[in-house]
Structure 1
Amino acid sequence: MQFTTLLFDLDGTLTDPKVGITQSIRYALDKMERPYSPNASLDWCIGPPLQESFAILLQNADPVVGQEALRLFRERFSTVGLFENEPYPDIHHLLAQLQAAGLKLYIATSKPAVYARRIVAHFDLAPYFLMVYGSELDGRFTHKNELIQHVLHTENLNPAHTLMIGDRKHDILGAKANHVTAVGVTWGYGSSEELRAAGADKLLHQPTELLHFLNLA
């Protein structure tokens, strides 16, 4: 199949945001007097909508409580956490080759767009992308199916010629809900089992494998 457009997840796909996200979650929990064990991993929180993760962490699904946790998270993340991050090896090289091949590149992340754009600019990734799409601070487009639908509609993209690349089941399920082919990447925070169960059309184990998948190498 000939793809003309690629949608990339950000966290766990283009960059490794572990320190910034997990430390900002711990900051929020500490402020709410619900500290999380320093020995317990928060890697599972990287990728899914944060409201869902906070509901589990706080054992409280009250949206008011979740919004307060989110507010505290952003208090640290917006000033410090978003730059506690780094692109994965070979990402710049990969994006340069995809762009040179004439493909249209977009970012589609559940992270608020206001933060995603700052991160992409900070790590010199912005020149590769036509637009950075993310969620809104009011909660719109937090779920990948809604976000991908929004990107397809706004950019007038043909789902049959669009490919989604991401590291968690949310990326795969969101793509499938919009009739978009999806590949899962295993260098991020979702396991091969998670990605396969979600219906990934292909698993990639290192960035350069995407070039082979697209017949560009």
Structure 2
Amino acid sequence: MEKEKLDKMYDICFFDLDGTIIDSSPGITNSVMYALEKFGIEETEREKLYKFIGPPLTDSFARFYGFDDEKSWKAVEYYREYYQDTGIFECSVYPGFEKSLKGLKEAGKRLFVATSKPEVYARRIIEHFDLDQYFEYVAGMELDGGRGSKAEVIGYLIDTCRMQDKKRILMIGDREHDVLGAKQEGLDCMGVLYGFGNREELEKAGAVYVAGTPEDIAGIILK
């Protein structure tokens, strides 16, 4: 059972991007396939590559294909060849998500994006779908690998926007990396079940709340 009511009030919401705001699976998996082909690896099962959605790409190429650091970064370069012009917009906003944003914004909540995707790409996506009207700031990793973990992105966002009370901030994401990164920075996290993680993963990582649908996010926060 999802918790239907928050234990405390949150004024600020940090949202993950891939798997929380957008279904980015077509663009990401196409980009991974493109990169792997450069190394003579052909993957035909798209769902097998969903595990690339969320974690830093270098970590995923190393973990799932045994690439060393140099090879992993080369794979990321190939990935970006496809992604930066084509794959970036092979995605869609989850139905009902913008409705949640509107409700939260109208209730006076401050909204931000905290993603492990390179910040320059994340900003383009948010602007492309006209979601920049809701978010005060979009924070992500740097193209050279800086701010490579979710915790570093969250910490950077808190420092950049000069936020004081971490107890008033709620992280919202679909993978364990969102939950663990939030915990590392002293934030609570709401997991979402419609993305690329699952209940077991989120609860094991320590998600305090769980939302089943995009609409449930605002429904739970505003109750």
1:120-166 Cα shifts (integer Å, max 9, x gaps)? 11111111000110000011112011111111111122211000000
Aligned-pair distance for 1:56?
Answer: 2.6
Q: Which residue of 1 aligns with 2:58?
A: 51
- Which of 175, 180, 203 aligns to 2:182? It is 175
Is 1:92–2:101 an aligned residue pair? no
Aligned-pair distance for 1:26?
Answer: 0.3
Is 1:191–2:187 an aligned residue pair? no
Q: Which residue of 2 aligns with 1:66?
A: 72
Contact 1:169 1:198 in 2 (8 A): yes
* Segment of structure 1 superposing worse, 202-211 or 64-73: 202-211
Query: How many corresponding residue pairs?
Result: 215
- Return structure 1 stretches of 4+ with deviation > 3 angstroms: 37-40
Q: Which residue of 1 aligns with 2:215?
A: 208
1:51 partner amino acid: T
Aligned-pair distance for 1:11?
Answer: 0.2
TM-score scaled by structure 1?
Answer: 0.96
- Which of 25, 36, 39 aligns to 1:32? It is 39
Contact 2:104 2:222 in 1 (8 A): no
TM-score scaled by structure 2?
Answer: 0.93
Coordinate RMSD, CA, aligned: 1.2
Contact 2:101 2:218 in 1 (8 A): no
Is 1:6–2:13 an aligned residue pair? yes
Contact 1:55 1:66 in 2 (8 A): yes
2:31 partner amino acid: S
Contact 1:34 1:58 in 2 (8 A): no
In the alignment, the residues of structure 1 paired with residue 84 and residue 60 of structure 2 have an alpha-carbon distance, to the nearest angstrom, of 18
- Which of 126, 133, 146 aligns to 2:152? It is 146
Q: Which residue of 2 aligns with 1:166?
A: 173
* Segment of structure 1 superposing worse, 119-128 or 163-172: 119-128
- Which of 121, 127, 132 aligns to 2:133? It is 127
Q: Which residue of 2 aligns with 1:113?
A: 119
* Segment of structure 1 superposing worse, 91-100 or 182-191: 91-100
2:193 partner amino acid: T
Change (3 A) 1:26 1:93: same
The percent identity for this pair of structures is 41
In the alignment, the residues of structure 1 paired with residue 182 and residue 46 of structure 2 have an alpha-carbon distance, to the nearest angstrom, of 34
The one of the two structures with greater contact order (alpha-carbon pairs below 8 A, sep at least 6) is 2
* Unaligned 5+ runs, structure 1: none
Aligned-pair distance for 1:40?
Answer: 5.9
Q: Which residue of 1 aligns with 2:107?
A: 101
> SS at 1:200's partner residue?
coil
2:159 partner amino acid: H
Q: Which residue of 2 aligns with 1:23?
A: 30
In the alignment, the residues of structure 1 paired with residue 12 and residue 35 of structure 2 have an alpha-carbon distance, to the nearest angstrom, of 37
* Segment of structure 1 superposing worse, 69-78 or 146-155: 146-155
> SS at 1:214's partner residue?
helix
* Unaligned 5+ runs, structure 2: 1-7
